[in-house]
Structure 1
């Protein structure tokens, strides 16, 4: 098991590079900005990303001190640039990527990571959302404004990014946000079948197929990525956002902060 990525466990076995993400703190966020490049450079054929304890970066499992850093302008710029690197590296990784999402689902940065993957397989009780605007009044710039429209079109994406809608797994499947929804006790098996299928093909063909299918996303990110970064940075710097961060940190403290349970 590889280390050095914060609260992220990495294993490479039988041609599969598995990334299990735990509590989101500074070291883990920085680790996420490197781990998909490591997957790209590995000898594996397929990358599977999931959450420890079946939590896919649920915002209520964020480290309290990490959340407070979001209100510090220089720290925020570092964090947000890392977020851009995370999504860019998923898109550029030459190996096919599969997000395996248990309940409570993928939200905020978790949703950006899951939806940037080539395939999203979710438990049928999982949900998906991006509460950047509704929760903090900021641009969904850590990948949400790119990956949601790419998957479901601009009109539908506005519903989720601007009107605080949450998609159930069934709705996400119906509108094309995710690829498959299965009962939680079948999720591992479903992903295993997909992995076996991808590994059965010629790997050069698989990697070039991914490269060309992702060319639109790469182009869009190259054109808009840094602009989105600084647009969000300007919003982050105002006093209202700092107050919202303070309120959110208090909410985490009231709920006992992050829990492995």
Structure 2
């Protein structure tokens, strides 16, 4: 939009809404709130709560959320009416089920290309949401537990646990972002141990080691998340957005460097595991 200079050569302020002018496309809640099978959304006073689920119960990780969540995060990030986002799960677990050798993907190169694309945008679109994010981890996070850890404030219930059940211990390379976030948050040695052994970290240890900021009884988890969100939402739009941008910049840079590489190696390792399985008949 062109803005004519003010009289006398003074700088003018363009008469458009700063919350929308900077985006090429703008999404509105009514366009995407009911668009996804695995995400339930509700918003009050600019605070958007997204609840991950499968048929109303705890999210069961699979092809549907892997396809949907990258686009859902894009829509959320394109809506200037979102001021704070809360991410939680339905039921008694945040994400499941535990990974098994039988659940290893059997994909052709073209199918892995789809996985590669979705995997990159799953995390990068989450990080591109330019408002503060709060995760309320309601129970065990057994699959893609890096998602809530990429939020700015991480709360966990007393029942929450963390495990990478879907990768190394079941014959897959942990290359979909787990290899970035856990060594970053736990330290290099603890992070590698976690990924290579299938270690389960309970809520108290997660608090002690800095994965989460607060541990609460499950019935106090969402009220605390909303109280924090209301506190954050008092700031101006630019302070909210640019604080998130600034505080995620380092993570985005590292993820940009390592995520695609990790996903490519995960695909190659999967093919090797399947070849070995075929040759041994196991």
**Alignment TM-score, normalising by the size of structure 1:** 0.82
C-alpha distance in structure 2 between counterparts of 1:231 and 1:93, whole Å: 27
Higher helix residue share? 1
The answer as to 2:90 corresponding to 1:52 is: yes
- Aligned mate of 1:101, from 134, 137, 151: 137
**Separation in structure 2 between the aligned mates of residue 88 and residue 34 of structure 1, nearest angstrom:** 11
1:26 aligns with 2:57: no
Cα pair distance change 1:58/1:227, threshold 3 Å: same
Report the Cα distance in structure 2 between the residues aligned to 1:218 and 1:61, rounded to whole angstroms.
27
Q: 1:207 to 1:129 in 2, by over 3 A?
A: same
Contact 1:30–1:82 (Cα < 8 Å) also in 2: yes
Tell me the residue number matched to 1:17: 48
| Post-superposition offset of 1:134 | 3.8
Note if 1:72 corresponds to 2:103: no
Q: Once the two structures are superposed, what CA deviation does each residue of 1:146-171 show, in whole Å capped at 9, x if it has no partner?
A: 11122222222112112221111010
Q: Equivalent residue for 2:247?
A: 213
- Counterpart residue number, 2:37: 6
Q: How far did 1:113 drift?
A: 0.8
Q: Distance in 2 between matches of 1:209 and 1:149?
A: 24
Alpha-carbon distance, 1:243 to partner: 5.5
Aligned length: 238
Cα distance per residue 1:237-257 (max 9 Å; x no partner): 13448959xxxxxxxxxxxxx
The answer to whether the Cα contact below 8 Å between 1:137 and 1:241 also exists between their aligned partners in 2 is no
Q: What is the CA deviation profile of residues 95-146 of structure 1, one whole-angstrom value per residue up to 9, with x for unaligned ones?
A: 111111112x21231x011111222111012101113444322222221111
> Relative to structure 1, is the Cα distance of residues 150 and 202 closer, same or farther in structure 2, using a 3 angstrom cutoff?
farther
Among 16, 31, 37, the alignment partner of 2:74 is 37
Supply the distance in 2 between the matched residues of 1:200 and 1:83 (Cα, whole angstroms).
34
CA shift, 1:60, in A, is 4.2
How far apart in 1 are the matches of 2:149 and 2:165?
A: 15
Q: Deviations over 1:220-244 (max 9, x none)?
A: 1221221111111101113448959
More RCO (CA 8 Å, sep 6+): 1
Structure with larger Rg: 2
Change (3 A) 1:71 1:142: same
* Deviation at residue 178 of structure 1 after TM alignment: 0.9
Distance in 1 between residues matched to 2:192 and 2:113, nearest whole Å: 25
**Structure 2 residue 126 is the aligned partner of structure 1 residue 90:** yes
Partner of 2:165: 131
Q: What is the match of residue 156 of structure 1?
A: 190
| Cα distance, 1:209–1:123 mapped onto 2, change above 3 Å | same
User: Is 1:147 aligned to residue 191 of structure 2?
Assistant: no
What TM-score, normalized to structure 2? 0.77
**Residue matched to 1:227:** 261
| Local SS of the residue matching 1:162 | helix
* Inter-partner Cα distance in structure 2 for 1:218 and 1:236: 26
Structure 1 residue 181: Cα displacement? 0.5
Q: Is the CA contact 1:112–1:142 (under 8 Å) kept in the aligned structure 2?
A: no
Alignment of 1:175-254 (within 5 A): 175-240=209-274
Partner of 1:17, secondary structure, is strand
